[in-house]
Structure 1
């Protein structure tokens, strides 16, 4: 199963998705390495090969599934050892079957487990022995190492599936001397009926406190200069350099940016110069020439949070603009800062994240939800 192990290679300018898994390659000694498996069916086992060529690599032992006692091995130049009573569950056939499944997964195609469950659905809709035999063959086509996980049920494993495709009077592989009883079979049928209901309801289920991902498309807050006051600024109003006079500690600043840079220094003269700067560029430059306050690096996120709260509290029309973004991810451009801006996915996007926080607080206020006050 792929999980989060996703990589890619570039072929003719196209990104080909892939994944990887551990394996031993025998090149004299045995080397613990990674097999890279790609959606186009190529596999890197110290060289790109087709699936057919990979099968030959398995048959000849280049990709090793047998580990002889006493053979020398090493791993990524980190350590070397000799095998002592090695045990492996893999055969060439089993490893090849898993890799075929992986290629199907990478392409979004049904793998052996999906094909088995589809055959089970056909059997449950029309319970003939012919359909049961087809479902049973599909179950055995799942690589043995993956059968336990076919139902995604870590309590029952694949037991209901085995019982269903075996049928009353048949024998399970693990219990060859105990035939499946009618009661066990009926329980398996009921399990699949309940499972079908649960799967039908699952798309409509929402976590108790709401969805984990945004329902609105992301909004990119591009830098745009010069910015002037407007009755209909759109999302430009969410920029920190948008003209929105801000009253902070008895002083009025033209923008959030002016206030931020003024508060970054303890020098009263510099603060005045920053506040009176004609542009946000000039405000930043005025602050850059003097030292930052002690602890500023650790406090700056809290300061920005307070300034954004002040902006949208003091300007209800701009708060409405922010609320109208619903739950969209806000991607904030900042050509100067990997901390505050997204920077093409390289930055931390703290301004965007704090805007989303303040937006949530505005939604709470709108809904009449009283937020707990911080402890005194």
Structure 2
């Protein structure tokens, strides 16, 4: 069974998550080992982005190859070349198509075919009617054939107990008729299986769902109240650092980045946060800026949420889940790749500090508007 690994692609500054496995392309009778990448937005990349329907056509035409010809030449780019001999293919075109569809469901946080089958199984075990048995059988058939044996997570019994449940009484399964006795044995198996699954679930720590801060900004004004958008570095929440009141965290970042007073004044006077990077990104950063970057951004975020109670409550409302910051943040190219992830982690840190402060475990009084430690904003 092929294992899928996670990846992503950038679309207009947004990260679209995906997953990939290996596949063969049949180009002119020669086979090329390449990456088959599936994305959450339903596009598939295998020597070019296509829709799921177009990918199915490529499978059926044999261009994405699931049947490998004996004696054909094959290669992996800059790695090796070989000739097929005694070829065995495990996954057919229709099965690979269904596997790709399952991956799209998984990437979007929805149940794949195996998950839907287990859901139908629970329904049948709770109410053993013919209608529920037929529903379970249909859900089982929807699973790519090469993945069915793994659905119960039992490498000894595999999917046999499930097949016994969905096979009508008197019909043969692997040469033996399904009898009431075999059916009862399968039901007893599932009683133990469910108990083991429930026990494992109790031992597994609950993982809070991720909270996504959207990447789109509001050109026509921010909503009031801002909700999750208040976590943006560009949200208009003035932040006082020392003697200077910055219109946003974004303004503070770009003004503090440089020691050039004219640039700092231009940053403070610019109402459009999209233009701040145009003003300041080409100006040399102050000495030690990169080394102190994480601490600086953390300080700015602490000040923002300590100085704006409503926004602090929005941050606390994210609970304990990971914060996925899909906005670019600080406008430069690097932000699209790395800095937004840094902002998400630092927002989680500030959230924890707010929780500790409210529990009386941490003193954040120094972040009061009148007592905030000063940065060197101007240097003569």
TM range (shorter): 0.5 to 0.7
Shift of 1:218: 4.7
**1:81 and 1:364, CA in 2 relative to 1: closer, same or farther beyond 3 A?**
same
Shift of 1:281: 4.8
1:189 to 187, 190, 206: 187
1:253 to 244, 251, 264: 244
Residue 65 of structure 1: aligned partner = 67
Structure 1's unaligned 5+ residue stretches are 9-16, 226-231, 372-376
Residue 288 of structure 2: aligned partner = 295
In 2, are the aligned partners of 1:120 and 1:132 still within 8 Å (CA)? no
Residue 42 of structure 1: aligned partner = 54
Shift of 1:27: 4.0
Shift of 1:243: 4.0
In 2, are the aligned partners of 1:72 and 1:80 still within 8 Å (CA)? yes
1:73-121 per-residue CA deviation (whole Å, 9 max, x = no partner) reads 334465322234x24144xxx6144145347646889859957985896
Structure 2's unaligned 5+ residue stretches are 10-17, 37-43, 271-275, 364-380
In 1, are the aligned partners of 2:298 and 2:346 still within 8 Å (CA)? yes
Distance across 1 between alignment mates of 2:313 and 2:268: 25
Distance across 2 between alignment mates of 1:323 and 1:110: 36
Residue 25 of structure 1: aligned partner = 26
TM-score by length of 1: 0.55
Residue 311 of structure 2: aligned partner = 321
Tell me: higher relative CO, structure 1 or 2? Use CA pairs within 8 A at least 6 residues apart.
Answer: 2
1:166-211 per-residue CA deviation (whole Å, 9 max, x = no partner) reads 69999864xx7x9999887545313435667899999x99974651
In 2, are the aligned partners of 1:22 and 1:32 still within 8 Å (CA)? yes
**1:368 and 1:171, CA in 2 relative to 1: closer, same or farther beyond 3 A?**
farther
**1:292 and 1:102, CA in 2 relative to 1: closer, same or farther beyond 3 A?**
closer
Distance across 2 between alignment mates of 1:103 and 1:72: 26
**1:322 and 1:81, CA in 2 relative to 1: closer, same or farther beyond 3 A?**
same
**1:365 and 1:191, CA in 2 relative to 1: closer, same or farther beyond 3 A?**
farther
**1:358 and 1:76, CA in 2 relative to 1: closer, same or farther beyond 3 A?**
same
Residue 81 of structure 1: aligned partner = 82
1:43-86 per-residue CA deviation (whole Å, 9 max, x = no partner) reads 36xxx55x7xx2xx56xx99463542x543334465322234x2
**1:185 and 1:284, CA in 2 relative to 1: closer, same or farther beyond 3 A?**
closer
Distance across 1 between alignment mates of 2:117 and 2:343: 47
Task: Please give the root-mean-square deviation of Cα atoms over the aligned residues, in Å.
Answer: 6.1
**1:195 and 1:6, CA in 2 relative to 1: closer, same or farther beyond 3 A?**
farther
- Looking at CA atoms only, which structure, 1 or 2, has the larger radius of gyration? 1
- Equivalent pairs counted in the alignment come to 321
Distance across 1 between alignment mates of 2:145 and 2:151: 10
